[in-house]
Structure 1
Amino acid sequence: MSACEGESQWQAAFEIFRQQELLGLGSDEFTLSALMSCCEKASHWPRCFELLESFRSLVVHNVAISAFQRSQRWVEAIGQLEKIRGTAQPDAVTYSAVIAACGTFQRWQQALELFHEAPRNAVVLSATISACEQACHWQQALQLLADANHGSVRRDLVVCNAVISACASALQWPYALHLVCHYMAGDEADGFGKIVNGKTANCAMRALTCAIQWQRSLCLLDRMQDLQVEIDVILLSLVADACAAAAQWTYLVPALSRLGEASGTTKNVPRTPRTAGIMTIPSGYD
């Protein structure tokens, strides 16, 4: 049935479903989930609603809510949550999808209300933080992280990325930089250790670049190298942009040279249109 996904194939999927019913084969959650996916991709929502009325499984309802979220139909997502409450206990998957749908339309207050009644886990927390980010409520994102630090929700890479992204999107580079450096250091005293990767650092670096904080950009690049955190092309492009905006290209040359020395050759340094030319400049260039 998954092979029928497409704008013109949803009718074929329903025919397969009808034949299964006529033959008495029945339909399980996975069959109905695949059928609902066909309806979603064809934007044929009336059929999707019919399915929900005929099969009251939490898994299927979660699939529907996720479909509503991807299609930016937050009202339907919340309505589906209300229906689930009458027949089953919504789980973390249910709430995270509804919260994400609210975030798409900057309904951050509704997202917070749902968060407070949802099961506590990292997926729900990161969805709520992202909802705050989309509404530019970075302070609330930080508050959610602080509350999680004193609660039972374990921070993970997704949560870290979400809150750093929230600060970076609001151009709050001091907070983004502090968080990424803290997580890179991996304070073992709090029981979490290092929970950062290149994507996390890219969020902070983007905020530094927008604020033309070229010196801090270079410091973060050095720190990442010291701690052996992944450095990719995107991050190097951001550092190059920060230096270029401040007309400080020559400071980038030794940084890239150190990366080359650490990897054994400058050929292993991730290349961008900007850094490729820089690597050919003599180290003594002024």
Structure 2
Amino acid sequence: MSILGVDDIVAWNGAMQSYSKARQWQSVLHLLYEAPKYDLQLTLVTYVIAISSCYAWPLALAVLEEFRRSRLQQDIQDINAYNAAISACNKGEEWQRALQLLSNLPQAQLLPDVVTFNTASSACGKVSEWQRSLTLLQQMQDLQLEATVISFGAALSAAEKGQQWPLALQLLSEMKDGLVAGNVIVFSAAISACEKGSQWLQAMQLLEDLKEVRGELDVILLGAVVSACGNSGQWQHALALLSEMQHDGIQGNIITYNSALSALEKAGQWRSAMRWLFEVSREESLQLDVISYSAAISACEKGNR
């Protein structure tokens, strides 16, 4: 009888999974190494649970290496252990190691699946490696794997962080052509990419497209479009969006209002700037900051006030 009072690996794996859900990775690894002492034959599930529990990528790779050296790697052709390790690299923003694991799959006589590509692409996206993320999406399609909204979302996130708004719009177009339904995450990434590129018209069009998909909008999405308008000096559109938010009962945050104030400052619209500054000051949930006052003061200076 083992220390857990169980004598089969299925129950042992269940205990490991419970520890993993509780984020007690030390206990998971302890059970992994204790199992052979009780003549329990480790399975693929055992290793996948252990690798998935490792929030530190070096530990995940160490467990994967043990799996590779075991007979299981030779007897079971399954991608899940590698996917778990790539996921750990993704969490640790180790995109190069994630890609290395992906490149090692042929040697292990394994074929990547959609999860493999999505996770590796996400790792690239976190560090603005948008070219690599796009390459992974293409490789997945070359292997006749069906790209999902998660696949496109990872590539769009990379495009957004890399400030590649044309690419973001291209990816959305490919999703539409491939009949892949968009969600708020992919639209948010595309809108943010347009915001960073000061593409206010594109951002507003995406907002309208998202309304058709979702219906309701949140302050983050609207704030990004307000910011895009502000960056381009489109103060009328910025104020129109703020009015729409108020009409729909959406509570703006200080970042949203500062974006509008910035648009007014660029255009020297000091009266509107002071009016919005006054309105924001009356909101108990909002607190004006140095950016708010600086934008209003600069607007007055440009308006010779």
TM-score of the two chains, using structure 1 as the length reference: 0.72
Q: Quick one: structure 1 residues 267 and 198, their matched pair in 2 at CA, closer, same or farther if it must change by over 3 Å? A: closer
Contact kept, 8 Å, 1:69 with 1:98, in 2: the verdict is yes
In the alignment, which residue of structure 2 is the partner of 1:272?
A: 288
Aligned to 2:150: 123
Partner of residue 205 from structure 2, selected from 178, 187, 196: 178
Aligned partners of 2:90 and 2:98 also within 8 Å: yes
Q: Does 1:248 align with 2:276?
A: no
Corresponding residue of 1:221: 242
Aligned pairs for 1:24-35 within 5 A: 24-26=39-41, 32-33=47-48, 35=50
Q: CA shift at 1:240, angstroms?
A: 3.0
- With over 3 angstroms needed to count, the CA separation of the structure-2 counterparts of 1:95 and 1:143, relative to structure 1, is same
C-alpha separation in 1, matches of 2:157 and 2:179: 20
In structure 2, the residue matched to 1:98 is: 120
- Please say if residues 256 and 269 of structure 1, whose CA atoms lie closer than 8 Å, have aligned partners that are also in contact: no
The yes-or-no answer on 1:110 pairing with 2:135 is yes
CA–CA separation in structure 1 for the residues paired with 2:41 and 2:273: 65
Deviation at 1:235, TM superposition (A): 1.6
- Identify the match of residue 143 of structure 1 among 165, 170, 178: 170
Give the superposition deviation at 1:199. 1.8
Aligned-pair CA distance for 1:164: 1.0
- Distance between the aligned counterparts of 1:140 and 1:110, measured in 2? 13
- 2:277 and 2:46 map into 1 onto residues whose CA distance is 53
Distance 1:145 1:22 in 2: 54
Task: Could you tell me which runs of 5 or more consecutive residues in structure 2 were left unpaired when the two chains were aligned.
Answer: 1-18, 294-304
Aligned to 1:281: none
Aligned to 1:282: none
Task: Tell me, in whole angstroms, the C-alpha distance in 1 between the residues paired with 2:57 and 2:244.
Answer: 48
Deviation by residue 1:38-80 (Cα, 9 ceiling, x = unmatched)? 6552744651441451466544322211222233333332343
What TM-score comes out, normalization by structure 2 length?
0.69
Q: Is the 8 A contact 2:191 2:224 kept in 1?
A: yes
Distance (Å, rounded) in 2 between the aligned partners of 1:52 and 1:152: 39
Structure 2 residue identity aligned to 1:224 = M
Give the counterpart letter for 2:165 in structure 1.
W
Report SS of the residue matched to 2:163: coil
Distance 2:103 2:34 in 1: 32
Match of 1:22 among 17, 33, 37: 37
Letter in 2 for 1:102: C
CA contact (8 A) 1:129 1:144 kept: yes
Greater shift in the superposed pair: 173-182 or 44-53: 44-53
Distance between the aligned counterparts of 1:243 and 1:29, measured in 2?
60
Which residue number corresponds to residue 206 of structure 1? 227
**Contact 1:167/1:175 (CA < 8 Å) preserved in 2?**
yes
| Contact map agreement 2:35 2:41 (CA 8 A) in 1 | yes
Distance 1:267 1:137 in 2: 36
Cα distance, 1:18 vs. partner?
0.9
Matching of residue 75 in structure 1 with residue 96 in structure 2: yes
Instruction: Provide the C-alpha distance between the structure 2 equivalents of 1:249 and 1:25, rounded to a whole number of angstroms.
Output: 76
Q: Would you say the 8 A contact 1:156–1:195 is kept in 2?
A: no
1:62 aligns with 2:83: yes
Distance of aligned partners of 1:234 and 1:276 in 2 relative to their CA distance in 1, 3 Å threshold: closer
The Cα RMSD (Å) is 3.6
Q: Does the alignment pair 1:168 with 2:183?
A: no
